[in-house]
Amino acid sequence: EKQGYDWFMRKEIFEQPKAVADTLLGRWSDRGELVLDEVRISPEELRRINKIVIVACGSAFYAGMVAKYAIEHWTRVACEVELASEFRYRDPIIDPMTLVITISQSGETADTLMAIRHAREQHARVIAICNTNGATIPRESDAVIYTHAGPEIGVASTKGFLTQVVACYLLGLYLAQIRGMKYGDEIRALVDELESMPDKIQRVLDGIEPVYELARKMARDEDAVFFLGRHVGYPVALEGALKLKEIAYLHAEGFAAGELKHGAIAVVEEGTPVFVVVPPEGRDQLHDKVVSNIEEIRARGARTIVLAEEGDTAVSAFADMLISLPRCSTLLQPLVAAVPLQAFACELATAKGHDVDQPRNLAKSVTVE
């Protein structure tokens, strides 16, 4: 039941600290190694893999886009991400040395299922990341890593998405460990950081009221809303836009911040609301590049809603509203950055009087192609 929440979706947003913690549970052995017992594919075989292909639909696809950055960075194995519906019908190049990772909350999505059947016919190995015990996709895969989000009832995925990212990260670290790309201490440090995320997600939730206020204010106008991000913030932007489309029926679009100049900036007008996910300040120049993007869109009149790490002073001058995110490394930032965007969509749809859990035209699991 909804336990006092108005919607399952809102309840599920607030369950995310626990969902992430549960997905991380019991992954570290006494021998000082990351263990994924469910991955019943031999280490020898996983060492031979020379390509990884992630296939999924919708939010699960965006989780896969996030994971690609981490998996390639940690394993140095080329990793592609593709929509299941595209993958299946274009004669993709896969063979026994390809590892296919499929991501599906329900485990019943028809396009994803067809994609893995096709992959297995080409003798690729398939690992499913799934939230539903015994569903068709895990049954038809070589191995499964279950996300432990608990049942997700709201049609719009929230805790499903976050736990998918976490499970992909665990798999990426496991592959890096097996392939000798990362060693004990380094992996332990990354697992420690993952384990610190539930508290950080909780802090975002504790401070969510200003996001709700913004949503209620914005429910009165019918503007299109844009989302910008870069690196792992790019799929977060796409996910933020998808949430808004699904439940608030608003025109929303996510862009890669670096693509602004290549076309997207033309749609920015006086008053256009733009959410921007700013990477943490770090060694690379990502942060500064995104800050200059904010400056550019602001100069064209955009109303900027900036999600940035707490203590980031570079952004404040260009933010009409600032949403502070707890500090974490770039790769883990999606786990906190997605949360205000989910909450924003939920509150805005509520204020518009929509049925948040049962949005029009959508089903929880899409069992037809």
CB nearer to ligand F6R: pick between 106 and 304: 106
Q: Decide if residue 110 touches ligand F6R (CB under 6 A).
A: no
Compute the distance between CA of residue 76 and CA of residue 176 in angstroms, rounded to an integer: 8
Q: Which of 24, 166, 204, 242 binds ligand F6R (CB under 6 A)?
A: 242
Q: Are 131 and 84 a contacting pair, CB within 8 Å?
A: no
Q: Decide if residue 104 touches ligand F6R (CB under 6 A).
A: yes
Q: Decide if residue 57 touches ligand F6R (CB under 6 A).
A: yes
Q: Is 364 a catalytic residue?
A: yes
Q: Decide if residue 157 touches ligand F6R (CB under 6 A).
A: yes
Least distance to ligand F6R, CB of residue 57, Å: 4
Query: Which one, of 287, 36, 95, 325, lies nearest residue 207 by Cα?
Result: 325
Q: Which of 23, 109, 147, 330 binds ligand F6R (CB under 6 A)?
A: 109
The residues in 347-366 that bind ligand F6R, with binding defined as CB under 6 A, are 365-366
Query: Which one, of 287, 297, 294, lies nearest residue 329 by Cα?
Result: 287
* # of chain residues touching ligand F6R (CB under 6 A): 16
Least distance to ligand F6R, CB of residue 178, Å: 26
Least distance to ligand F6R, CB of residue 184, Å: 33
Least distance to ligand F6R, CB of residue 62, Å: 8
Helix or strand (DSSP H, E) at 62? helix 58-75
Q: Are 363 and 154 a contacting pair, CB within 8 Å?
A: no
Q: Are 241 and 248 a contacting pair, CB within 8 Å?
A: no
Which are the contacts of 186, defined by CB distance < 8 A and separation ≥ 6? none
Which segments of 182-284 are extended strands (E)?
A: 225-229, 252-256, 273-277
Count of alpha carbons within 13 angstroms of residue 157, beta-carbon side: 27
Compute the distance between CA of residue 139 and CA of residue 162 in angstroms, rounded to an integer: 23
Stretch that binds ligand F6R, among 7-15, 99-107, 202-210, 223-231 (CB under 6 A): 99-107
Mark residues 246-265: x for contact with ligand F6R by CB under 6 A, - for none.
x-------------------
Q: Decide if residue 236 touches ligand F6R (CB under 6 A).
A: no
Q: Which of 85, 98, 112, 324 binds ligand F6R (CB under 6 A)?
A: 112
Q: Decide if residue 53 touches ligand F6R (CB under 6 A).
A: no
What would the two tokens of residue 286 be? 């990502």
Q: Are 157 and 134 a contacting pair, CB within 8 Å?
A: no
Compute the distance between CA of residue 95 and CA of residue 261 in angstroms, rounded to an integer: 39
Stretch that binds ligand F6R, among 152-160, 198-206, 287-295, 311-319 (CB under 6 A): 152-160
Cα dihedral across residues 128, 131, 135, 136: positive or negative:
negative
CB nearer to ligand F6R: pick between 106 and 350: 106
Q: Decide if residue 106 touches ligand F6R (CB under 6 A).
A: yes
Q: Are 337 and 233 a contacting pair, CB within 8 Å?
A: yes
List interacting residues with ligand F6R (CB under 6 A).
Answer: 57-60, 104-106, 109, 112, 155-157, 242, 246, 365-366
Q: Which residues are known catalytic residues?
A: 364
